[in-house]
Amino acid sequence: MKLSHIEKLESESIHIIREVVAEFENPVMLYSIGKDSSVMLHLAQKAFAPNKIPFKLMHIDTTWKFKEMIFFREETAKNYNLDLLVHINEEGVRDKISPITHGSKIHTDIMKTQALKQALDKYRFDAAFGGARRDEEKSRSKERIFSFRDKSHRWDPKNQKPELWNLFNTKINKDESVRVFPLSNWTEIDVWQYIFQEKIPIVPLYFAKIRPIIKRNNMLIMVDDDRLELKQNEKIEQIQVRFRTLGCYPLTAAVESSASSVEEILIELLETKHSERQGRLIDNDQIGSMERKKQEGYF
Amino acid sequence: MDLETFFKNQNEKKQLKILTCGSVDDGKSTLLGRLMYDSKNIYSDQLSQTQTESEKYGTQGKKIDLALLIDGLQAEREQGITIDVAYRYFETENCKFIVADTPGHEEYTRNMATGASNSDIGIILVDATKGILDQTKRHTFILSLLGIENIIVAINKMDLIDYDEKIFQEIKQSFKLTSSQFDFKTEEFIPISALKGDNVFIKNKNIDWYKGKTLIEELEQISLFNYEEDFFSLPVQWVNRLSSNFRGYSGTISSGKIKVDDEVQVLPSKEKNKIKKIITPSGEKDIAVKDQAVTLTFDKEIDVSRGNLICSNEKHNYFSADQFASHIIWMNKEKMLPERNYIFRFINSQIVGKITDLVHKININTFDKIASKSLGLNEIGYCKVALNKNTIFNSYKNNKRLGSFVIIDQFTNQTLAAGVIDHELRRASNISWQDMSINKNLRSSINGQKPCILWFTGLSGSGKSTIANIIEQKLHNLSKHTYLLDGDNVRHGLNKDLGFTDSDRVENIRRISEVSKLMIDAGLITIVSFISPFKSERKMARELVEENEFIEIFVDTPIDECEKRDPKGLYKKARSGQLKNFTGIDSKYEIPDKPEIILKTETKNAEDLADQVLQYLKNNNKI
């Protein structure tokens, strides 16, 4: 009996999740509602079966997520009986920070990075799971599975601890923390294959449907609510689109697609020519921008 | 392709973890870029981003620089070198590859060892225009040390030597001289040009003299043998008792397989049991195999915890011991010091221990064994390790998961080193502790005192010995039994073989700690007056005795003041270079985090400070 590639990945991830529970006092799973988070959550359930997941989940809500994401989040929490925290940067809300008026850089920093740091400080979590994968983006490809963060949640890419075998360095001092990435070695195709095999529920936004879309800077942006004001010459079109990655709706570009099931997505993916992060406007601010954001504490 | 075929293919695809290594500019990143480009695992937006970056940072003029697809971090792009381990993913019709891209720069041996620890196959790149370099030998050695059984030697840049077979053969022979000293199971040689793509995915007619496989064919067709043991073993990672009616033992199977109803034993207790249920990631099953993360339940309830090993009842080679011999790869700027306490991280335990002997250091270019007192960054040594308590392990050769460890600094939490266990060492088992009928408490009760160590630490000239002397006089006047161990005096006798290097300083303090422990046992108030500059050794001394017996006294005098006093003229000598390794000048002093007592000599005189210590002893019922 030989394990397939996916079975090896699955066991590796479960091992990582259990290691955190064995070694840390107050872990949390960052739940972004996306497909990777859905897979991570599914793996966590397997890791502790037949019992419940022994830690909290947390969603950093920028208040600009797609409505369907929030609906899905609530459904998931109910169906799986999860202990789910939702954190919003109230100062950002008070200052009316918006991706539309302030741009992606400021919005992401305040509503995502700063919000995350606030929440980690507030609940004093010493380990935070994230669903990031190394194949997503170049700076991620070098990140450790157990990635150290200092007291101010900063990542120092040049001073990462060597990580050998599956012997993870879990030693931290007071107020320091680690980010843990159980899906480090999964690729986008692996994730979809696993969702298909395991019938993992995901947000319907991943499936093609006719949605209200405007074209802005060569990107297809969905008009999810009336906070997105149309500029001159822009008009709402009904286009069949889906999303390869989910974030704040004004910052997440859709792709034209007719793939309305996981099978069809997989076929599309095998023929596609663009990486999933292409739809993330925030990565394209400047060369090396993801690396810079990660140093500042972004997930 | 229809979906059914697709999934069948996906499920049958093997997973191959490969490591690319070679010297600077051998073309590792270019080769990886080539593998991903030719296997069509690069998306067009990534390609156009690389194109933009190529024009800015690239080495190929206006042409795309495939190496830039791979080099992730910004600093590296600017310097044009890879400085860390990056993982890359690509797939072909038959295989899914996980590639560790590790740097060839001389000072980055640690990254290569990191990549090798998680790889099945090593690709060693050799620049055909340069031949075998010292670093090539070093990489070969590390691959062998980390148990890589299969290597492929890709002789690159063949286009620059006009695809000359003679040069290829020369390099091949020269490499074989090196590798014959190791035990690789398979070893293949392929002439390639990563830049042009020759013999990576596509055969090239320029190399028609080469009849072998392309690199990708070689990788896809290689058969990996597992030379490890196949007895069942599972290091208990975590005990699942989240609900009252369930108790399961979770962990990843490190060797062999397990079936329901199999008889097993738990180490170190050697208690026997029978497997009742096996919960795998795909639910309850009758059987589970190596690398699966499972939860097992037993027939009868016994006490099992993280750190234990569940293994085959019939046969096993695991040791439960506290000493072993191992190769250690040092990965930090902070040097390895024998006798210093470190945290040893094993698969499911973390234990304080130390390297008692550095048997030899290995010159990784010539593979010669050389005598040495310590290991520096990127050095490899053969060491004896002693732990504070037993743990369960195997030799690395038998079981990689149970034969490997990393060393972590107790204070900075840095990962300092990685080790592979060779064999267990038996402690002289015929020396057991002699029970004595008169103990510490009885001895000290005669004197109306509680034994303790007053451990003075501080810079040379800070006033340690002066204050220590006064305290001893005062205690003597109170009819207390004391003994003063003074740094300078002890160095004339017990420690006269020791100098002032970091490793000698560690040994110096270790001996003093042991002597103090004997003095405590004799019921004495022991006053130790040593610079004792390192936190680690002060911690070691503290941990040798019982809690509350160790009183750390930091004599806090700024270095400028010490230098002004300079009672022995030592600072002057150190400043002029006549005296090496002088604390505060060219050897560091680590200030205590939480000493029991801090004495500020700038604001109070020695007499008052001695009284401050006496008061502490009274308050804590020592006298």
Question: For residue range A8-17, what is the model confidence (pLDDT) as tens digits?
Answer: 999 999 999 9
The span from the CA of B279 to the CA of B258, in Å, is 11
Count CA atoms within 13 Å of residue A30 on its CB side. Answer: 27
Extended strands (E) in B1-85: 14-22
* Farthest-apart Cα atoms in chain B, separation: 97
Q: Strand, coil or helix: what is B208?
A: coil
Cβ under 8 Å to B: A residues 80-109: none
Q: B352: which strand partners?
A: B343
pLDDT of amino acid B101: 81
Q: Strand, coil or helix: what is B552?
A: strand
Averaged over B191-211, what is the pLDDT? Answer: 90
| C-alpha closest to that of A141 among B96, B101, B116, B27 | B101
What spatial distance separates the first Cα and last Cα of chain A, rounded to whole Å?
Answer: 38
Of A22, A161, A270, the CB nearest to B414: A161
**Residues of chain A positioned with their CB less than 8 A from the CB of B114:** 162-164
pLDDT of amino acid B106: 54
Q: Does B118 touch chain A (CB under 8 A)?
A: yes
Q: B382: which strand partners?
A: B327, B360
Backbone angles phi, psi at A169, to 5 degrees: -80, 110
DSSP state of A112: I
Whether the predicted pLDDT of B564 surpasses 80:
yes
Cα B241 to chain center, whole Å?
32
- Residue B483's CB is within 10 A of a number of other CB atoms, namely 14
DSSP state of B529: E
Whether the predicted pLDDT of B196 surpasses 60:
yes
Report residue A231's pLDDT band, with 50, 70 and 90 as the boundaries: confident
Q: Which residue has the tokens 């009252």?
A: B244
pLDDT of amino acid A142: 79
Question: For residue range A55-65, what is the model confidence (pLDDT) as tens digits?
Answer: 999 999 999 99
Alpha carbon of A213: minimum distance to chain B alpha carbons (Å): 22
β-pair type (B95-101, B86-91): antiparallel
Instruction: State whether the Cα torsion A87-A88-A89-A91 is positive or negative.
Output: negative
The span from the CA of B105 to the CA of B138, in Å, is 11
**Do residues B445 and B495 make contact, with C-beta atoms less than 8 angstroms apart?**
no
Averaged over B562-568, what is the pLDDT? Answer: 89
Phi-psi region of B147 (alpha: psi -120 to 50; beta: other; left: phi over 0): left
Q: Which two tokens stand for residue B156?
A: 């690159």
Extended strands (E) in A181-236: 209-216, 219-222
Tell me the pLDDT of chain A averaged across its residues: 89
Question: For residue range B462-510, what is the model confidence (pLDDT) as tens digits?
Answer: 999 999 999 999 999 888 899 999 888 888 888 888 888 888 888 898 9
Report residue B433's pLDDT band, with 50, 70 and 90 as the boundaries: low
Residue ranges of domains in chain A, CATH in brackets: 5-190 (3.40.50.620), 203-284 (no CATH)
Question: For residue range B401-417, what is the model confidence (pLDDT) as tens digits?
Answer: 999 999 999 999 999 99
Report residue B439's pLDDT band, with 50, 70 and 90 as the boundaries: confident
- For B300, residues 6+ apart whose C-beta sits below 8 A from its C-beta are B273, B274
**Residues of chain B positioned with their CB less than 8 A from the CB of A12:** 293
Per-domain residue ranges of chain B? 3-221, 233-312, 319-424, 440-619
**Do residues B552 and B457 make contact, with C-beta atoms less than 8 angstroms apart?**
yes
B591 compared with B245, residue with greater pLDDT:
B591
**Residues of chain A positioned with their CB less than 8 A from the CB of B238:** 18-19, 21-22
Taking an 8 Å cut-off on Cβ atoms, the answer to whether B1 and A270 are in contact is: yes
Whether the predicted pLDDT of B110 surpasses 70:
yes
pLDDT of amino acid B234: 97
For helices B134-145 and B165-179, angle between their N-to-C axes, nearest 10 degrees:
50
Q: Does A151 touch chain B (CB under 8 A)?
A: no
- What's the CATH number of domain B319-424, 2.40.30.10, 3.30.565.10, 1.20.120.160, 3.90.1150.10? 2.40.30.10
Averaged over A243-248, what is the pLDDT? Answer: 92
- For A182, residues 6+ apart whose C-beta sits below 8 A from its C-beta are A12, A13, A14, A16, A17, A40, A43, A129, A131, A145
- Is B319-424 the same fold as B233-312? yes
Report residue A290's pLDDT band, with 50, 70 and 90 as the boundaries: low
The span from the CA of A28 to the CA of B482, in Å, is 53
The span from the CA of B459 to the CA of B554, in Å, is 10
- Name the residue of chain B whose CA is nearest to A5's CA: B15
Backbone angles phi, psi at B420, to 5 degrees: -120, 130
CA angle B277, B278, B279 (to 5 degrees): 115
pLDDT of amino acid B38: 85
Taking only Cα atoms into account, the Rg of chain A, rounded to an integer number of angstroms, comes to 19
Superfamily of B3-221 according to CATH: P-loop containing nucleotide triphosphate hydrolases (3.40.50.300)
| C-alpha closest to that of A176 among A60, A289, A19, A297 | A297
**Residues of chain A positioned with their CB less than 8 A from the CB of B405:** 167
Count CA atoms within 13 Å of residue A19 on its CB side. Answer: 29
Whether the predicted pLDDT of A279 surpasses 60:
no
Report residue A286's pLDDT band, with 50, 70 and 90 as the boundaries: very low
Alpha carbon of B14: minimum distance to chain A alpha carbons (Å): 6
Identified catalytic residue from B465, B529, B532, B536: B532
**Residues of chain B positioned with their CB less than 8 A from the CB of A287:** 52-53, 56, 74
The span from the CA of B73 to the CA of A138, in Å, is 7
Residue to mutate among B2, B51, B238, B409, with most A CBs inside 10 A, is B238
Q: Does B400 touch chain A (CB under 8 A)?
A: yes
Exposed / middle / buried, residue B575 (Cβ in 10 Å: 0-12, 13-18, 19+) = middle
Taking an 8 Å cut-off on Cβ atoms, the answer to whether A270 and B6 are in contact is: yes
Alpha carbon of A112: minimum distance to chain B alpha carbons (Å): 22
The span from the CA of B439 to the CA of B479, in Å, is 21
- Name the residue of chain B whose CA is nearest to A1's CA: B289
Q: B95: which strand partners?
A: B14
Count CA atoms within 13 Å of residue B259 on its CB side. Answer: 3
Q: Which CATH code for domain B440-619? A: 3.40.50.300
The span from the CA of A13 to the CA of B369, in Å, is 40
Question: For residue range B282-312, what is the model confidence (pLDDT) as tens digits?
Answer: 999 999 999 999 999 999 989 999 999 999 9
| C-alpha closest to that of B201 among B317, B356, B36, B49 | B36
Q: Which two tokens stand for residue B621?
A: 């019922």
Report residue B258's pLDDT band, with 50, 70 and 90 as the boundaries: very high
Whether the predicted pLDDT of B351 surpasses 80:
yes
Q: Does B334 touch chain A (CB under 8 A)?
A: no
What interface predicted TM-score (ipTM) does this complex get?
Answer: 0.90
**Do residues B199 and B190 make contact, with C-beta atoms less than 8 angstroms apart?**
yes
Of B240, B242, B347, the CB nearest to A167: B347
Question: For residue range B66-91, what is the model confidence (pLDDT) as tens digits?
Answer: 777 665 544 454 554 445 777 888 88
pLDDT of amino acid B92: 87
- For B172, residues 6+ apart whose C-beta sits below 8 A from its C-beta are B153, B155, B189
Picking from A212-216, B74-78, B547-551, which range would have the lowest pLDDT averaged per residue?
A: B74-78
**Residues of chain B positioned with their CB less than 8 A from the CB of A296:** none
The span from the CA of A53 to the CA of A14, in Å, is 12
Averaged over A89-113, what is the pLDDT? Answer: 92
Taking an 8 Å cut-off on Cβ atoms, the answer to whether B243 and A7 are in contact is: no
Q: What string of DSSP letters covers B384-432?
A: EEEEEEEEEE--TTT-TTTSEEEEE-TTT--EEEEEEEEEE----TT--
pLDDT of amino acid A25: 95
CATH architecture classification, B233-312: Beta Barrel (2.40)
Whether the predicted pLDDT of B431 surpasses 70:
no
Instruction: State whether the Cα torsion B1-B5-B8-B9 is positive or negative.
Output: negative
Q: Strand, coil or helix: what is A141?
A: helix
DSSP state of A171: -
- For B492, residues 6+ apart whose C-beta sits below 8 A from its C-beta are none
Taking an 8 Å cut-off on Cβ atoms, the answer to whether A19 and B3 are in contact is: no
- What burial letters (b/e) apply to B312-337, b meaning 16+ CB within 10 Å? beeebebbebbbbbbbbbbbbeebbb
pLDDT of amino acid A4: 87
